Amino acid sequence: MTEPAAPPLRRVIEAPFTRRAWAELGHTLASLPLAFGAVAFFVPMLENGIFWAISADVMRWFGAVARFLARELLGEDIPAPSPARPLNLFKVATPDAAAAIRLFEAAQAAGGKARVWESKPGVTVKRLPQERVAELAAEAGIAITAIRPQNAFNSWMGARTLDPVAWRARAYFALKLPLAVVSLNVIAGCWLGGVFFLTFPAWRTLGLNGAFAASLSGSFTFLPLGVVLLLAGPWLTHGLTETDRWLMRGLLGPVSRTERIRALEQSRARAVDDSAARLRGIERDLHDGTQAQLVALAMKLGLAREKLQDAGGVDLARVTQLIEDAHRGALEAITDLRILARGIHPPVLDNGLADALATLANRSAVPVELVTDIPERPSAAIETIAYFSAAELLANVARHSGARHATLEAVHVPGLLRVRVTDDGAGGAHPAPNGGLRGLAERVRTVDGRIGIDSPHGGPTTVTVELPSHA
């Protein structure tokens, strides 16, 4: 539900008093010292390459803080860039030059970078783990005579000296600092100046009117100026903040379009695998459950029919027994089918996530306190994933934690749906291979969501699933 837009004049007048104006003001003030700190830190470090490497991780951290401020204050969710990729430089000696060229081609095809030696047969390979290089060689049928990794220090340096994320963060703060200084002046001029001129007659009376000499009656002519400044302040701040957002999106997010494309490819592959696995699971459940039950049921009824046609007289007790068995089998099949259907898509989800979660909380073996704040419905796929995440987490609470009480929280703010399950159980939850939490994490990642697990031994356990509003 969105409120109808207010008439333009009212929006102009109300601007200084909106949450957005205060958030942007807060962000401008908070990010100024950060920009100062970052620039003061990295400028002396530009001296030489060793310092570039040393400062790289810190620059990444500054970038992360800037993204954090943007998310918390501006609601601007900038995805984090990928972590520094180890260079993984290997020197691989091969028996002859032809083998070196084949290995070079295999390494390039596998997404690494390679260079063939000129003096003796061999290849230098970058950006592929050592096992992968050995694997590639084995696949191509190349005997490796020696494989020697770069030493740890060089590999650490290599990954950081030219770390694009760190360099982009330096560029961002270099641009951000003047922007922040301008913003501060604008804010000071508009907000403080506005208040000053709005109350100018009082200052004049106190003799604190500075350079603005005026008669008492003339002093009231400054009042409109104060109003204009106060009203203009939020709009100017907004414009400057927009510029900052644009810079952050461009310089603090994932490095390149290819990186984003790779991430999307991965999440698409996960989504396809996930749905294939889900379909296979459903087929298995049907095959082993309902289908088998119906076959058994048909057998019983087939036998009962034979008994009824028996020329030697009908054994009523036996036929009754068969039909009773068949009846019981039919009821079991119905129950199983209902559970299975609900596992595919719970009908209550059509009424919205809040209702569905309430049903889930009621059905839980452990008492669950439910808190929902979902003013707007996320898209259907997101609701479904949120529902099954909550179901899986509550099932884990009942199965593993030994908790006496749990809380299920679902909050939807524009752009982000957060589902959180907290319990007072034994803790120690972790995503085991093939475990439910791992499967859940995989499913959440198919829509670029995130899962956070905080479960120290001895408890309490908090698992947070964050999903975008729209898949």
Partner 1 sequence: MRIVIAEDAAVIRAGLTEILTDRGHDIVAAVGDASALLAAVAAHEPDVAIVDVRMPPDHTDEGLRAAIAIRRAHPRVGILVFSQYVETRYAADLLRMRSGGVGYLLKDRVANVAEFDDAITRVAAGGTALDPEVVAGLLTATRHAAALDVLTPREHDVLALMAEGRSNGAIADRFFVSERAVEKHISNIFSKLGLPPSDSDHRRVLAVLAFLGER
The site for partner 1 (CB under 8 A) is made up of 284, 287-288, 291-293, 295-296, 298-303, 306, 329
Closest approach, Cβ 328 to partner 1, in A, equals 11
Q: Tokens 């859940």 appear where?
A: 440
Question: Residue 313 Cβ, how far from partner 1 at the closest point, in Å?
Answer: 16
CB of 156 to partner 1, least distance (A): 45
For partner 1, the closer of residues 126 and 307 by Cβ is 307
Nearer to partner 1, 14 or 310 (CB): 310
Q: Shortest approach of partner 1 to residue 297 CB, angstroms?
A: 8
Beta carbon of residue 325, minimum distance to partner 1 (angstroms, whole number) = 9
Residue number, 288 or 369, with CB nearest to partner 1: 288
> Nearer to partner 1 by C-beta: 298 or 413?
298
Residues 6+ apart with CB under 8 A from 62: 34, 37, 38, 41, 169, 173
Closest distance of CB 145 from partner 1, Å: 41
Cα dihedral value 51, 111, 432, 340, nearest 10:
140
Q: Which is nearer to partner 1, 45 or 296 (CB)?
A: 296
CA distances from 11 to 18, 24, 75, 218 (A): 9, 16, 21, 30
Please report how close the Cβ of residue 306 comes to partner 1 at its closest, in angstroms: 5
| 89, 115 contact by CB (below 8 A) | no
Nearer to partner 1, 293 or 446 (CB): 293
The smaller minimum CB distance to partner 1, of residues 303 and 348, is found at: 303
What is the side-by-side strand order in the sheet with 368-373?
A: 368-373, 406-413, 416-423, 461-468, 450-454
> 82-111 as b/e, with b when 16 or more CB fall inside 10 Å?
eebeebbbbebbbeeeebbbbbbebbeebe
Distance CA 461, CA 454 (A): 6
- Looking up tokens 């409109």 gives 224
> What gap in Å lies between CA 291 and CA 365, rounded to an integer?
29
**Three-state secondary-structure class, residue 260:** helix
